[in-house]
């Protein structure tokens, strides 16, 4: 592959560098005849433009960072999946940045991305998003956040309606006859996590029952602890809402280890709608977040903001996914 630069194509096509450049990046500025000739020649040579050189000059690249706390968490994995797809549908390359919840790391990623002229970035927060920090780096660079952001409307966001989701779960459980319904938190301290918890507290109170928070931790062991707590109770709830699917898995697993069966002894419902849930034992009933949509929309929002500067806050509707981990209350 004799180094293929724009100049060799230019020479081969008998035109100037700049014309070749335009043929590729501003087709309407080149006589169609010439353009086609150039493209044909380039094709024949197997030439493609160097994204690096382009980025250097244009000061904007096609690399977009996706910042997640933990790719091992299937929620973020599914997000990453749809985002890579959405990204390369539009010619972007997704750069995976895993912070492990360390804000210092995400700072590092931001500067790196700035240096790479990323046109924007997507942040799936592990902790409440600090808009100040964002601003400090985002600098010209735009960011869209997959979470609610407190007191700052200047950053586009996409979320799902937490309250609605919890309501769906609660209604489903009520319709099965459950009245005593526990809650296990478990995602990191994001606004979304907060919102779900608040919604649970509020809606439970509204329906006249007593809220039972089995665990309000924010790590992966919340599920295990929640289950332990449950097992120690004198009068445990008959159903449990888990703040997310991973926690639900942990709850069911821990319960199972103590001989409790789901849904026979307790009903458990998750929140996320992970594909994995369908192959859990039992298949997990859950509130589905439209993750695929979130990914696409996040990128759209970013592009939109880049274009006309508009800042949107999209709130998606969750959906109940009834599988096998909840059942009619029998007494």
Give 84 or 179: the residue with its C-beta nearer to a second copy: 84
Look at residue 314 and give the partner it binds from a second copy, DNA, none, a contact being a CB closer than 5 to 8 Å depending on partner kind: none
Look at residue 246 and give the partner it binds from a second copy, DNA, none, a contact being a CB closer than 5 to 8 Å depending on partner kind: a second copy
Look at residue 32 and give the partner it binds from DNA, a second copy, none, a contact being a CB closer than 5 to 8 Å depending on partner kind: DNA
- Say how far apart CA 82 and CA 316 lie, in whole Å: 16
- Cβ neighbours for 157, distance < 8 A, ≥ 6 positions apart: 144, 145, 146, 147, 148, 149, 313, 314
Binding span for DNA by CB under 7 A among 24-32, 80-88, 187-195, 265-273: 24-32
Backbone angles phi, psi at 181, to 5 degrees: -125, 120
Task: Count how many residues are written for the chain.
Answer: 331
Shortest distance, position 186 Cβ to a second copy, whole Å: 12
Residue 318's SS3 state is coil
- In terms of phi and psi (left: phi > 0; alpha: psi -120 to 50; beta: otherwise), the region of 241 is beta
Using CB under 7 A as the binding rule, whether residue 56 contacts DNA is answered as yes
DSSP state of 261: -
Q: Tell me if the bond preceding 263 is cis, omega within 30° of 0.
A: yes
Using CB under 7 A as the binding rule, whether residue 15 contacts DNA is answered as yes
Give the CA diameter of the chain: 86
Shortest distance, position 37 Cβ to DNA, whole Å: 9
Interface residues toward a second copy, by CB under 8 A: 1, 48-53, 55-56, 61, 63, 66, 70-72, 74, 77-78, 80-81, 84-85, 93-98, 111-112, 115-117, 139-140, 220, 223-224, 246, 249-250, 252-253, 256-257, 262, 275-276, 278-283, 324
Which residues would be at the binding site for DNA (CB under 7 A)?
Answer: 3-7, 14-19, 21-22, 24-26, 29-35, 47-50, 53-54, 56-59
């Amino acid at each position: 592959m004799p180094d293929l630069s724009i100049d060799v194509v230019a020479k081969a096509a008998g035109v100037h560098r700049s014309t070749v450049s335009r043929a590729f990046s501003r087709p309407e500025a080149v006589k169609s005849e010439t353009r086609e000739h150039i493209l044909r020649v380039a094709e024949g040579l197997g030439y493609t433009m160097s994204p690096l050189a382009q980025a250097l000059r244009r000061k904007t690249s096609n690399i977009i960072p996706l910042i997640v706390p933990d790719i091992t968490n299937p929620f973020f994995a599914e997000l990453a999946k749809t985002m890579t797809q959405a990204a390369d549908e539009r010619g972007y390359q997704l750069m995976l940045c895993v912070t492990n919840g360390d804000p210092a790391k995400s700072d590092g990623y931001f500067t790196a991305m700035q240096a790479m002229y990323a046109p924007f970035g997507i942040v799936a927060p592990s902790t409440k998003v600090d808009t100040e920090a964002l601003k400090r780096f985002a600098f010209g660079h735009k960011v869209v956040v997959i979470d609610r952001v407190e007191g700052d409307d200047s950053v586009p966001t996409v979320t799902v309606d937490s309250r609605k989701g919890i309501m769906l779960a609660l209604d489903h459980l009520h319709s099965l006859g459950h009245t005593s319904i526990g809650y296990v938190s478990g995602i990191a301290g994001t606004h979304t996590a907060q919102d779900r918890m608040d919604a649970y507290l509020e809606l439970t109170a509204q329906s006249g029952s007593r809220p039972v928070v089995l665990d309000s931790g924010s790590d992966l062991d919340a599920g295990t602890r929640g289950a332990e707590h449950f097992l120690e109770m004198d009068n445990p709830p008959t159903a449990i809402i888990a703040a997310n699917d991973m926690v639900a898995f942990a709850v069911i697993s821990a319960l199972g280890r103590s001989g409790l069966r789901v849904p026979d002894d307790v009903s458990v419902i998750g929140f996320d709608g992970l594909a994995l849930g369908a192959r859990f034992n039992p298949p997990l009933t859950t509130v589905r977040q439209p993750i695929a949509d979130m990914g696409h929309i996040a990128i759209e929002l970013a592009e939109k903001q880049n274009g006309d500067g508009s800042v949107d806050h999209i709130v998606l509707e969750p959906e109940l996914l009834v599988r096998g981990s909840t059942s009619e209350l029998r007494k």
